[in-house]
């Protein structure tokens, strides 16, 4: 019985997307068939689900800033917080329309006409990624079905929105991130593709990967495992290989490659721990581990393990302070986003 009901709701939603500009009243009062009033009962740990990966606790957890973000990635994080974020986004949308009335129809279709973040995300991603391969309606139904069945994806979406808003000074609001930040959208499309890949629907997963690469210039293999609280800043040129694993609260800038060496098979891509910052233009090649809280300077080529809470820079990358006694970072670099703190320890050359 569940499948026909979901199909009916999805069909009704697809129809309403095209009628949205004609509707003059908010749909909030109608309630959403996709929001459960009771929490989902999970038969296993959420961290084993396809939407996220849980890596080890950082070696030093006395960083207040990190602890603030860390709670958003916990499996018992309240669904109420997800709903609160969605309500905040709708308030932001109304405020934006007050300032720029010309955006009214666009914001209504993308945000205000929807009763939940799941529906809005399915609608918006389908508009962005649809084309000759996918009709917008069919893709929306596919994405909405995945989001409805796997609530861990929406938890991850929530964490990613908060991460971008708090870490990127160019992000002025959650709505701004949701509508305009292609790094955020590419990660959410990957979460859908990863779910499809994990459930044996590999042809569809690879097709979504291809569309994301074409539309956003971000290439992430659908098998790659990515945690929560991810910031892909600027995002253009990011490549993440098939067996790569990325932990929680990681920040990655543009033109970063997490790739293989070109000669290995099997498990051949990098493993990135929690709280890691990877600077622009970095290449991390092979099945190497970047441990929790490490920082990789821009333009580096990393071929070996980087210990926790250390900084590696250069080509090939070397540890600041040396291999035997590397300088330890005090704060989680992915949260501070400080990419120049290591310069005084590295060189006295000033431009």
Q: Mean pLDDT over residues 86-114, rounded?
A: 97
Q: How far out from the chain centre does Cα 175 lie? A: 15
How many CA within 13 A on the CB side of residue 177?
30
Categorize the per-residue pLDDT at 79 as very low, low, confident or very high, splitting at 50, 70 and 90.
low
**Lowest mean pLDDT across 16-25, 32-41, 202-211:** 32-41
Distance CA 286, CA 211 (A): 26
Categorize the per-residue pLDDT at 65 as very low, low, confident or very high, splitting at 50, 70 and 90.
low
Q: Tell me: pLDDT of 49 over 50.
A: no
Q: What is the C-alpha end-to-end distance of the chain, expressed in Å?
A: 68
Q: What percent of the chain is predicted at pLDDT more than 70? A: 73
**Lowest mean pLDDT across 3-17, 40-54, 121-135, 151-165:** 40-54
Stated as kind and residue range, the H or E segment containing 175 is helix 174-180
Per-residue tokens: 251:
């920040």
In this prediction, residue 327 carries a pLDDT of: 84
Categorize the per-residue pLDDT at 39 as very low, low, confident or very high, splitting at 50, 70 and 90.
very low
Q: What percent of the chain is predicted at pLDDT more than 90? A: 64
Q: Mean pLDDT over residues 90-116, rounded?
A: 96
In this prediction, residue 28 carries a pLDDT of: 36
In this prediction, residue 26 carries a pLDDT of: 37
In this prediction, residue 78 carries a pLDDT of: 55
Stated as kind and residue range, the H or E segment containing 343 is helix 343-346
At 234-278, the pLDDT tens digits run: 999 999 999 999 999 999 999 999 999 887 789 999 999 999 999
Q: Mean pLDDT over residues 202-231, rounded?
A: 97
Q: Tell me: pLDDT of 196 over 90.
A: yes
Q: Mean pLDDT over residues 7-16, rounded?
A: 46
In this prediction, residue 345 carries a pLDDT of: 53
In this prediction, residue 64 carries a pLDDT of: 64
In this prediction, residue 91 carries a pLDDT of: 97
Stated as kind and residue range, the H or E segment containing 239 is strand 239-240
DSSP-derived secondary structure letter, 71? G
In this prediction, residue 176 carries a pLDDT of: 97
In this prediction, residue 77 carries a pLDDT of: 53
* Beta strand 257-259 pairing with 225-226: unpaired
Distance CA 268, CA 206 (A): 19
In this prediction, residue 337 carries a pLDDT of: 84
Distance CA 3, CA 12 (A): 14
In this prediction, residue 131 carries a pLDDT of: 86
Q: Mean pLDDT over residues 9-23, rounded?
A: 44
For the chain, the average pLDDT equals 81
Q: Mean pLDDT over residues 2-25, rounded?
A: 44
């Amino acid at each position: 019985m569940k499948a026909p009901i979901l199909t009916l709701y999805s069909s009704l939603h697809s129809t309403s997307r095209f009628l949205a500009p004609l509707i003059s009243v908010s749909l909030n009062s109608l309630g959403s068939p996709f929001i459960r009033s009771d929490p989902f009962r999970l038969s296993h740990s959420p961290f084993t689900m396809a939407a996220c990966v849980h890596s080890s606790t950082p070696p030093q957890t006395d960083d207040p800033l990190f602890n603030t973000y860390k709670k958003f990635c916990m499996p018992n994080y309240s669904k109420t917080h997800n709903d609160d974020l969605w309500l905040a986004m709708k308030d932001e949308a109304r405020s934006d329309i007050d300032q720029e009335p010309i955006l009214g129809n666009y914001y209504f279709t993308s945000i205000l006409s929807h009763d939940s973040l799941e529906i809005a995300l399915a609608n918006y991603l389908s508009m962005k990624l649809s084309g000759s391969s996918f009709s917008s309606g069919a893709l929306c139904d596919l994405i909405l079905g995945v989001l409805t069945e796997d609530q861990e994806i929406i938890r991850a979406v929530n964490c990613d929105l908060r991460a971008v808003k708090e870490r990127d000074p160019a992000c002025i609001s959650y709505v701004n991130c949701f509508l305009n930040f292609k790094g955020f959208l590419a990660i959410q499309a990957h979460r859908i593709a990863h779910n499809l890949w994990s459930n044996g629907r590999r042809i569809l997963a690879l097709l979504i990967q291809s569309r994301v690469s074409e539309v956003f210039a971000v290439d992430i293999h659908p098998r790659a495992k990515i945690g929560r609280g991810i910031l892909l800043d600027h995002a253009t040129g990011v490549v993440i290989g098939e067996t790569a694993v990325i932990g929680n609260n990681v920040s990655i800038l543009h033109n970063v490659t997490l790739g293989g060496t070109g000669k290995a098979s099997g498990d051949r891509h990098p493993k990135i721990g929690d709280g890691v910052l990877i600077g622009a233009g970095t290449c991390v090649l092979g099945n190497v581990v970047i441990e929790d809280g490490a920082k990789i300077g821009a333009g580096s080529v990393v071929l070996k393990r980087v210990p926790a809470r250390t900084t590696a820079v250069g080509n090939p990358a070397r540890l600041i302070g040396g291999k035997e006694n590397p300088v330890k970072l005090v704060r989680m670099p992915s949260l501070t986003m400080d990419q120049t703190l290591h310069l005084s320890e590295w060189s006295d050359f000033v431009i």
